[in-house]
Amino acid sequence: MKIIFNKKIVDGPWGGGNQMLLSLVDYLVANNNHVFYKLEKDADVVFIMDVKDQSCSFSIEELKRFKEEKGVKIIHRINDNGSHRKNNEERNDNLMINVNKNLADKTIFISDWLKRYYESKGHFVNKSVVIPNGVDRRIFSCSDDDVRSPKDPIKIITHHWSSNIAKGFDIYNLLGDFCNKNPSIATFTFMGNHPSGFLNNCNKLPPQTYKEVPCVLKKNDVYVTATQYESGGCHIIEGMACGLIPLVKKGGGGTEEYSSGYGYYYSDFNGLVDCILKLYNNYDLFIQNRNNVRNNYKYGSWDMGKKYCDMIL
């Protein structure tokens, strides 16, 4: 099949949407499909991966004309919501809804939470399916090289390439303070970008490439996220794919959904501390949770790619 995406893959450290596309294209090409990032004649399908023209390889208006001329099938992957981008919630949501109504033959939501979000806005999509994000299991995998002993501090990590305050930086600041005061209980590492004035109290690493990220994650025990209203972020499934126990703030949207059955949820910082102490003080529980993540993880890019192919047919 001849498949067009309206967004190009970017080299180097980038956000979860870019890494998801990288894995998806890898699957499609491995299964004898031809992938393009510009409008090519005789295309079987065009995927809308973004609705903002400045982020796309061709404009929405160009795609509209192409559909009118060629009658090509269009599948819209909805992966964002205005609540996560508080600068202009209604504008962001309305742009997504208008593009979907005017162009999409079929729709993919990346989480049930995101589908319900748009339904709450009065936007109901008949020809839609939920396909969660997935990561490349060839590199995001578990390592048994350095299993934590009962008296070792729990090594906690999170990573965000966006410095959006909704990622939970207030919680991460408090976690850094806690770990500094209790180094025998836990350590905290932040990898990525952050707002100015935050995270001066923990181990920080710059953004890493897609292949370098799992090398860092595997050196840790627990993955924490405090993000809010997330459509279905890749950061949590990357952490779990490397065998890390997830600690997830309630209200995390798709992130909360992706981690269901794998870890613990907390409402505020005191709740997060309770989760950490529970795992630290009960080693058997720590191992039980660790094994559960490793044995039951289900968000692989190959499975994701097959579901995308099924949508094309």
15 alpha-carbon distance from chain centroid: 8
pLDDT number for residue 85: 65
Give the residue from 24, 15, 75, 25 showing the smallest Cα distance to 230.
15
For residue 165, what pLDDT is reported?
Answer: 87
CATH number, domain 154-296: 3.40.50.2000
Q: What is the pTM of this model?
A: 0.93
The 8-class DSSP code of residue 300 comes to B
How confident is the chain (313 residues) per 10-residue block, as mean pLDDT?
Answer: 90 70 92 94 94 89 96 95 73 93 96 96 93 94 84 96 90 96 97 90 91 94 96 93 97 95 96 98 97 96 94 85
For residue 87, what pLDDT is reported?
61
Q: How many angstroms separate the CA atoms of 69 and 63, rounded? A: 10
How far apart, in whole angstroms, are the C-alpha atoms of residue 104 and residue 173?
42
SS3 107: strand
Q: Which residues of 260-287 are buried (b: 16+ CB within 10 A; e: fewer)?
A: eebbbbbeebeebbebbeebbeeeeebe
Pick one of 3.50.50.60, 3.30.460.10, 3.10.20.30, 3.40.50.2000 as the CATH number of 2-137+300-312. Answer: 3.40.50.2000
Partner residues linked to 59 by β-bridges: none
What residue spans define the domains of the chain? 2-137+300-312, 154-296
Q: What is the pLDDT of residue 14?
A: 62
- Phi/psi of residue 68, nearest 5 degrees: -65, -35
Q: Are 110 and 231 in contact (CB under 8 A)?
A: yes
Whole-number pLDDT of residue 282 = 97
DSSP characters for 183-248?
A: TTTEEEEEEE---TT---SSEEE----TTTHHHHHTT-SEEEE---SBSS-HHHHHHHHTTPEEEE
